[in-house]
Chain A
Amino acid sequence: MNLIGEKISYKPDEQFHLNDVSFNFKKGNLYTILGRTLSGKTTLLKTIAGLLNPDQGSISFEEKDFIKIPVWERNVAMVYQQFINYPHLNVYENITFPLEQRKLSPEQIKKDVDEALKTVGLVGFENRKIQELSGGQQQRVALARSLAKKAKILLLDEPLVNLDYKLREQLREEFKRIFSEGLSQDTILIYSTTDPQEVMELNGEVIVLDEGKVLQKGPAKEIFENPSNLKVAEISNDPPMNVLEGSKNSKNLNFENISLEIPNHFKNLEDRDYNFGIRASEIKLDENGEEFEIELAEISGSETLLHLKRGNSKIIALIEEVMNFKIHDKVKINFNANKFYAFSEDEKLVSSPYGGTNG
C-alpha cells in the first residue's frame, strides 16, 4: 500500500535530472526532500505527480503501476513554490475547483472547503479575488486547495521559499500544526526544501538529493548528527559545514599550522590525512585562540556571520551576537574539538561526535 519508486532516472538533456532514485514512502508519514536548487527536487515531485515521465524506473502506488495512470486521474495534490492559483476564480472557487472536477456532491464540497479554509486560517476571505491577497495568503489558498482534495499524496515544492522571513517563520509553525491535525492517516506528505532548518523542524524522514542522486536517507536527527559524506554535511547545514584539510597523528589534530588535542571520539582513528568538518556555530571568538583574517562580516538578525581565512582554508563562523568587524582585520577563534567530524579523503564520514560512522 506504499508509494514505491524504483531506480528512477530522468535525463532530458546532457545531464541527469534524476539518477537512479529509489524510495519507499509509507502512508501517514512526512517525508522531506532536502537539496540545493537544481538538485532534482522539483523533478522528483513532478514525476510522482505524473507531470513528467521518467526515462527509466518504476513507480507504484497501492500496488498499481503509477506511471500508466495520467496526472488527472492520480489524485495527488501539489503546492508550488510560486503561488499558483486560478486568477479568474475567487478564493472559494479556487478551493472548490478540484472537488467539482471530481463531481462531489455540493454538501460534501461545502463541508470540505469550509474545513480547509478553517485549517489554513482564511475564513472570511471566501469572496476575495486572488490578486487582492498577499503572498502568504495566496500560498494558504494553494495549500487549502490541496488539503480540501484529501489527496492520498500531498506534494509541497518549496512552499515557503518565496515568502519573506517573518511570514516564512510564521507559516512554518502553522505547517507543523496543519500537518499534525489536518491530514488523515492514509496521506503521504512529501515536502521539498533547500532549508536545513525547515527539515529539522518538520522532523520527518529525510532524503538528501544532489545532482539527481540520493545521497542519504534517514530521520532528520540522523542526517544532522551523522551526515554520511561531506556533500550531505554541506547541504544539511546552513551555513554549510566548514571543511578543513588536515591530518591526525598520535598526539594531535593538525590543520593550517594549528594543533588541537585529540577529542575522545577520534581516539580510535588511524593516523593519516582527513577532511575535518566543523559547524559554523561551534567556532567561538577567543582571545587565546588561533588567528584568522576576516574576509567578510555579515549581520543577519541577531547573529553575525564571519567569513574567515587562514592559509588555503576558508571557514565561516556564526557568532550569536551583533558585532562590527572590519574586513582584513585579524580575529582569534577557538575550535570546539569535541564537535569535529572526520571525513576520509574520498569524503565519506569516518567519525562523528554523535557516534556514527560510515566505514
Chain B
Amino acid sequence: MSKLYTFLKYFFITFWTVFVVAPFLWAVSTSFKDFQSVNSKVTYIPWLDFEPTLEGWRVLIKSPAKGGVDIVEPYFNSIFVTCTASLISIVLGTLAAYALSRFTFKAGFVRNNDITFFFISQRIMPPIVLSIPFFIFLSTIGLLDSLLGLVVVYIVLLMPIAVWIMVDFFNRVPKELDETALIDGCNPYQAFYKVVLPNSIPGLIVAGMFCIIFGWIDFFFAFILTFTEVQLLPVKVVALNSSITPWWSLSASALVSVAPLIIVAFIVERYLSKGNLSGALK
C-alpha cells in the first residue's frame, strides 16, 4: 500500500514537473534556432540536430530601422508601470484595509463589509466592461497613450487585490496587539507603523506579489489604452507575431517576459516560509 502510494506520489510529481518545465525547455531551445531548424524538421539537441544561433535574441534589442523589434523600451515601460502601480496600490490598499479592519464605518445601510465588497466588486466585472469608460476617462484628462495614464488605470485594477488580501490579514491580527501598543505609549499612528506593520510583512509580500503578477501580465488595457507613443511588453511581444511567425525571437521574448516573475517568486517564497505569526498571536 505505502509502496503504491510512494510510486503514485513520485509519478505525479514527475508528470507535473515535466508538464511545467518542458514548454520552458522547448522555448529555450527554440530561441537559439534559425528559420531552417524550426521549419524543416523537428530538432532537439543543439550542435547535433541544429546549429545554435543568437539571431532570435539579437532581434529583440536591434532598432526597427535595422530590422529588429527593440523590446528594451517596452520592457522598462512595463517595469515602471507595474512597480509604480503596485507600490501605490499596496500603500493605499494597506491603509484602507487597516481602517476597514479596525474601525466601524456607518453610512446609511453601508457597513465595513459592504465597503470591502465594493472594492472586490471592481474585479468581478469583466475587463471589457471597463475598457470604454477608461478610454473616455483617459482621453478626457489627456492621459491616453501615456505611462501616467496606465499607472492610474493599473492602480484601479490592483488596489482591490491589495485591500482584499490585507483586510483578511489584519482581521487575523488580534486587536489586542494594537491595544497593547496604545497602552505602551504609542499613539494610533505609531501603533500602526511600529507594531502592526512590522507584523504584517507576510501579508504585504503576498499582496505585493499578486499586484506585480496581475500588473505585469495585463495585455488587455495595455493594448486598448496605448497606440504609438508608449508600448508595454505584452503588447510588443504579441505584435511580433506577423505574417511569418518568428518562433525564435518569440520564444526569446517570452522567456525575458516571464523572467521577472520567476525572480519575484523565488524571493517571495523565501520570505513567506520565514515569516509566520503563529505562537505569538494565539
Query: Which residues of A approach B to under 8 Å, CB–CB?
Result: 46, 49-51, 70-78, 80, 82-88, 97-98, 101-102, 130-133, 135, 138, 145, 149, 162
Contact = CB atoms under 8 A, between A and B. Distances in A.
Contacts of A97: 184
Given A78-B183, A80-B176, A98-B184, A131 B198 contact: no
Given A86-B195, A97-B184, 17 more contacts: A46-B179, A72-B183, A73-B185, A78-B179, A78-B180, A82-B176, A83-B280, A84-B281, A85-B280, A86-B199, A87-B277, A87-B279, A101-B184, A101-B190, A130-B280, A132-B279, A138-B279
Nearest to B278: A131
Nearest to B195: A86
B135 to A, nearest CB: 45
B186 interface: yes
7 contacts: A46-B179, A75-B185, A86-B280, A87-B280, A87-B281, A98-B184, A132-B279
Contact of B280 (A50, A77, A138): A138
Given A51-B179, A86-B177, A72 B278 contact: no
A130 B185 contact: no
Contact of B182 (A51, A82, A85): A51
Size band of the B side of the interface?
Answer: 20 to 34
A37 to B, nearest CB: 16
A82 to B, nearest CB: 6
Nearest to A133: B279
Contacts of B183: 49, 51, 71-72, 74, 76-78
Contacts of A102: 185
Nearest to B276: A131
Given A72-B186, A102-B185, A84 B180 contact: yes
B46 interface: no
Given A82-B176, A84-B177, A86-B177, A72 B182 contact: yes
Contacts of B185: 72-73, 75, 98, 101-102
B271 to A, nearest CB: 14
A72 B191 CA distance: 10
A351 B78 CA distance: 85
A84 B279 contact: no
B69 to A, nearest CB: 47
Contacts of A51: 179, 182-183
Contacts of B181: 86
Contacts of B174: 82, 84
Contacts of A162: 282
A94 B197 CA distance: 16
A130 B198 CA distance: 14
Interface in B160-190: 174, 176-177, 179-187, 190
Nearest to A86: B195
Nearest to A73: B185
Interface of B: 174, 176-177, 179-187, 190, 195, 198-199, 276-282
A87 B182 contact: no
A131 B276 CA distance: 9
Top 8 nearest A-B pairs (CB, nearest first) are A87-B280, A131-B279, A101-B185, A98-B184, A88-B198, A130-B280, A71-B182, A84-B176
B186 to A, nearest CB: 6
A272 B177 CA distance: 55
Nearest to A130: B280
B101 to A, nearest CB: 16
Nearest to B184: A98
Contacts of B279: 87, 130-133, 138
Contact of A131 (B179, B182, B187, B280): B280
A83 B182 contact: no
A82 B282 contact: yes
A46 B278 CA distance: 25
A55 to B, nearest CB: 16
B186 A101 contact: yes
A72 B179 contact: no
A212 to B, nearest CB: 20
A84 B184 CA distance: 12
Contacts of B176: 80, 82, 84
A70 B182 CA distance: 9
Contacts of A78: 179-180, 183
B187 to A, nearest CB: 5
B280 A70 contact: no
A149 B180 contact: no
A72 B187 contact: yes
Contact of B187 (A70, A75, A133): A70
A77 B183 CA distance: 6
A51 B181 CA distance: 11
Nearest to B187: A72
A83 B180 CA distance: 11
A145 B180 CA distance: 10
Contacts of B282: 82-83, 135, 162
B155 to A, nearest CB: 29
Nearest to B188: A72
A80 B187 contact: no
Contacts of A135: 282
Contacts of B179: 46, 49, 51, 71, 78
Contacts of A87: 199, 277, 279-281
B180 A80 contact: yes
